[in-house]
Amino acid sequence: MAVPEHTIYHVFSTFAVGGPQRRFAALAREMPAFHHVISAMDNTYDAQELLRGQCSYEIRPVEIEKGSGFSPANIRHLREHIKTVSAGLLCTYNWGSIEAVMANGTVLPGKSLTPHLHFEDGFGPDESPTRQNWKRSFARCLLLRNTRIIVPSNVLKNLACSKWGLNPKNVIYIPNGVNLERFQGGQRLSDERLVIGTLGALRKEKNFARLLRVYAQASIAEKARLVIAGDGPERAALQALTLEMGLQDDVAFSGHTENPEEVHATFDIFALSSDTEQMPIALLEAMACSLPVISTDVGDVAQMVAEENRRFILPLMDEDRLAQALSELVNDPQGRKTLGYLNRRRVEQAYSHEAMVSQYQTIFSQILR
């Protein structure tokens, strides 16, 4: 492993496995010149399994008081960490890390402890692009007005400029990318039921309960089963709902995976049922594996998939249409094959891993210089 030349201090709202953490791990593997120091506001570090043996990093736990407002103690502890790490760049991630933004002193131009880059990837269950907490919007406007902010979706970019009042020159859109060599389409099994699959953290905003209802309403159990890959706080409730709906013979919970490419290879259709997303990495991976997609119309999803697949991206409150669309895909083998091919082409043309890494390297290098 190359000797790192620079240190970057990352403060995440959580370092549990999720989209931002998986993207960070993919970038860290490609950037041997950087040593990464990582803190998480909830002191959860499950995602470090993505980094072991792949890059130079260390975990730096912080003393955090959990509460509904800003904590002077949290800000004081974080400020001491920022001083101690002496990094060339501070990266903060999402609203949950906003106290680290305050600790760095980025409100006043030229007064921050460390050059700063902020990432916004989306929202929890209490917010959406159309339902914003005005106090958070005001705080973002105040605390991030002199900071460069990276967003992975056009929805978030427009929101940051319009509702948060941030300078468009400071809001940088970098779409997520996927490793096309790692994620490739393969021959799915043909001697058993089709597999409708989904992959993600089992959290409330992902609304896998909606997917269970849509699957049941589509009446396709004889032809297709449902596999939910991933783990999280909602798993027990979802498994209980599966039993309550009498779907235990048709729905499987396969748990957390460190090899999403192997999971996607077992799917015939990829389904996304979230209340809120921006640019889901799992969706890009599914497209790279030549899968057709059915999804709620959230974030940039409709723009991400191939044009021909967009009629299967439907309003999140219209479960009737989602069920009809799912049934149509299950009963149209040629249509699935065509959409899968076109989705793979779409990723090749617009969402390559190399392009994403190049853009991040340019920004990091500019700041560190």
Indicate yes or no: pTM above 0.75: yes
CA dihedral 185, 187, 192, 194 (to 10 degrees): 30
- Identity of the amino acid at 86: S
**Residue with tokens 């043996």, as numbered in its chain:** 53
What is the per-residue pLDDT across 260-275, written as a single tens digit (0 to 9) for each? 999 999 999 999 999 9
Which pLDDT belongs to residue 65? 84
Tell which wins on pLDDT, 133 or 165.
Answer: 165
CA–CA distance, 90 with 82 (Å, rounded to integer): 8
What distance in Å separates the CA atoms of residue 98 and residue 341, rounded to the nearest whole number?
41
Q: Residue 322 and residue 221: Cα distance in Å, rounded?
A: 16
pLDDT in tens, 26-63: 999 998 889 999 999 999 999 999 998 889 999 999 98
What's the maximum distance between 2 C-alpha atoms anywhere in the chain? 65
Mean pLDDT within 136-163:
92
Q: Average pLDDT, stretch 191-220?
A: 93
d(C-alpha 151, C-alpha 233), whole Å = 26
Please provide the DSSP assignment of 342-357 as one string. Answer: HHHHHHHHH-BHHHHH
Task: For tokens 């269970």, name the residue.
Answer: 212
Tens digits of residue pLDDT in 302-360: 999 999 999 999 998 999 999 999 999 999 999 999 999 999 999 999 999 999 999 99
- Residue bearing the bigger pLDDT, 234 or 32: 234
CB 143 within 8 A of CB 106: yes
